[in-house]
Amino acid sequence: MKKKLVMIGNGMAGVSFVEQLLKLNPGRYDISIIGAEPHPNYNRIMLSSVLAGDAGLNEIVLNDWDWYQDNGIALLAGQEAVEVDAAKREVRTDRGAALPYDELVFATGSLPFMLPLPGADKEGVIAFRDIKDCETMMEAAKRYRKAIVIGGGLLGLEAARGLLHLGMEAAVVHNGPFLMNRQLDETASRMLRTELERQGMTFLLNKQSAAITGESRVTGLTFTDGTRAEADLIVMAVGIRPNAGLAARSGVSVQTGIVVNDYMETNLPHVYAVGECAEHRGVAYGLVAPLYEQGAVLAKRLAGAETAGYAGSVPSTKLKVSGVNVFSAGRYTDDPGTRALRVQDDLDGIYKKVVFENGRVVGAVLFGDTSDGSKLFAAIRSGKDYAGSERELLFGPSGGGGKPAGAEDLAAAMSGDEIVCGCNGVTKDMLVDAITEKGCASVPELKACTKASGGCGGCKPLVEAILTSTLGADKVAAVKEGICGCTKLTRDEIVGAIREMRLTTTKEAMHVLEWSNPEGCSKCRPALNYYIGMAFPEEHEDERASRFVNERSHANIQKDGTYSVVPRIYGGVTTPEDLKRIATVAEKYRVPLVKITGGQRIDLLGVKKEDLPGMWEDLDMPSGYAYGKSLRTVKTCVGNTFCRFGTQDAMKMGVDLEKKFERLDTPHKVKLAVSGCPRNCAEATIKDLGVVAIDGGWELHVAGNGGTRVRAAELLTKVKTEEEVLEWTGAYLQYYRETANYLERTSEWCQRVGLDAVKAALADKADRDALNARIDATLGLTRDPWKEIIENAELRSAFETLTAPADAK
Ligand SMILES: Cc1cc2nc3c(=O)[nH]c(=O)nc-3n(C[C@H](O)[C@H](O)[C@H](O)COP(=O)(O)OP(=O)(O)OC[C@H]3O[C@@H](n4cnc5c(N)ncnc54)[C@H](O)[C@@H]3O)c2cc1C
Ligand SMILES: NC(=O)c1ccc[n+]([C@@H]2O[C@H](COP(=O)([O-])OP(=O)(O)OC[C@H]3O[C@@H](n4cnc5c(N)ncnc54)[C@H](O)[C@@H]3O)[C@@H](O)[C@H]2O)c1
Ligand code: SF4
Ligand code: FES
Return d(Cα 680, Cα 735) in angstroms, integer: 26
> How far apart (Å, rounded) are the C-alpha atoms in residues 674 and 653?
7
Q: Are 295 and 127 in contact (CB under 8 A)?
A: no
**What pLDDT is attached to residue 143?**
92
Question: Between 3.40.630.30, 3.30.390.30, 3.40.50.2020, 3.40.640.10, what CATH number should domain 314-404 receive?
Answer: 3.30.390.30
What digits encode the pLDDT tens for the residues 632-659? 999 999 999 999 999 999 999 999 999 9
Ligand nearest to the CA of 682: 3
Query: Distance between CA 295 and CA 289 in Å, rounded?
Result: 10
- Nearest residue (by CA) to ligand 1, atom 15, is 287
pLDDT tens sequence across 649-694: 999 999 999 999 999 999 999 999 999 999 999 999 999 999 999 9
Number of other CB atoms surrounding residue 118 within 10 Å: 11
Atom 51 (ligand 1) nearest CA: 45
Give distance in angstroms: CA of 460 to centre of ligand 4.
7
Q: Which atom of ligand 4 is nearest to the CA of 426?
A: 4
Q: Which ligand is nearest to the CA of 684?
A: 3
Q: Is 631 helix (H, G, I), strand (E, B) or coil?
A: strand
Residues within 6 Å of ligand 1 by CB: 8-14, 34-37, 44-45, 47-48, 80-81, 107-110, 128-129, 155, 243, 246, 275-276, 286-289, 291, 320, 423, 456
Confidence of residue 394 (pLDDT cuts 50, 70, 90): confident
What percentage of the chain has pLDDT greater than the value 70?
96
List all residues 6 or more positions away from 486 whose beta carbon is below 8 Å from its beta carbon.
Answer: 448, 510, 515, 516, 517, 520, 521, 523, 524
What angle (nearest 5°) sits at the alpha carbon of residue 327, between those of residues 349 and 464?
95
Examine the pLDDT at 608 and tell me if it is beyond 60: yes
Percentage of residues of the chain with pLDDT beyond 90 = 71
Rounded to the nearest whole angstrom, what is the distance from the C-alpha of residue 151 to the centroid of ligand 2?
Answer: 6
CB of residue 677 inside a 6 A radius of ligand 3: yes
Helix %, strand %, coil % for the chain, to 5?
35, 25, 40
pLDDT tier at 799, thresholds 50, 70, 90: low
pLDDT in tens, 115-154: 999 999 999 999 999 999 999 999 999 899 999 999 999 9
Ligand 2 centre and the CA of 173: distance in Å?
12
**Partners of residue 353 on adjacent β-strands:** 342, 365
Can you identify the CATH homologous superfamily of domain 406-479? BFD-like [2Fe-2S]-binding domain (1.10.10.1100)
Q: Position 396: which residue type?
A: G
Mode of pairing for the β-strands spanning 316-318 and 326-330: antiparallel
Q: How confident is the model at residue 167 (pLDDT cuts 50, 70, 90)?
A: confident
Give the pLDDT score at 510.
93
Phi-psi region of 78 (alpha: psi -120 to 50; beta: other; left: phi over 0): left
> How many CA atoms within 13 Å lie on the side-chain side of 234?
28
Pocket (CB within 6 angstroms of ligand 4): 421-424, 452-459
Q: Using CA atoms, how far apart are residues 274 and 277, in angstroms rounded to an integer?
A: 7
229-241 average pLDDT score? 97
Does 125-238 match 3-111+242-303 at the fold level? yes
Q: Could you tell me which CATH class the domain 631-779 is placed in?
A: alpha beta
Say what the pLDDT of residue 460 is: 79
Spacing, Cα 182 to ligand 2 middle (Å)? 8
Tens digits of residue pLDDT in 525-542: 899 999 999 999 999 988
What distance in Å separates the CA atoms of residue 1 and residue 780, rounded to the nearest whole number? 48
- Spell 657-687 as b/e; 16+ CB within 10 A means b: bbebbbbbbbbbbbbbbbbbbeebbbebbbb
CATH class as words, domain 125-238:
alpha beta
Q: Look at the pTM and tell me if it is higher than 0.95.
A: no
CA of 457 to the centre of ligand 4 (A): 5
Condensed to tens digits (0 to 9), the pLDDT of residues 329-357 reads: 999 988 899 999 999 988 778 999 999 99
For the chain, the structural domain boundaries read: 3-111+242-303, 125-238, 314-404, 406-479, 491-547, 631-779
Tell me how many degrees the CA angle 182-183-189 measures, rounded to the nearest 5: 100
- What's the rounded Cα separation, in Å, for the pair 430 and 436? 10
Write the class of the CATH domain 3-111+242-303: alpha beta
For residue 551, which phi and psi values (nearest 5 degrees)? -75, -30
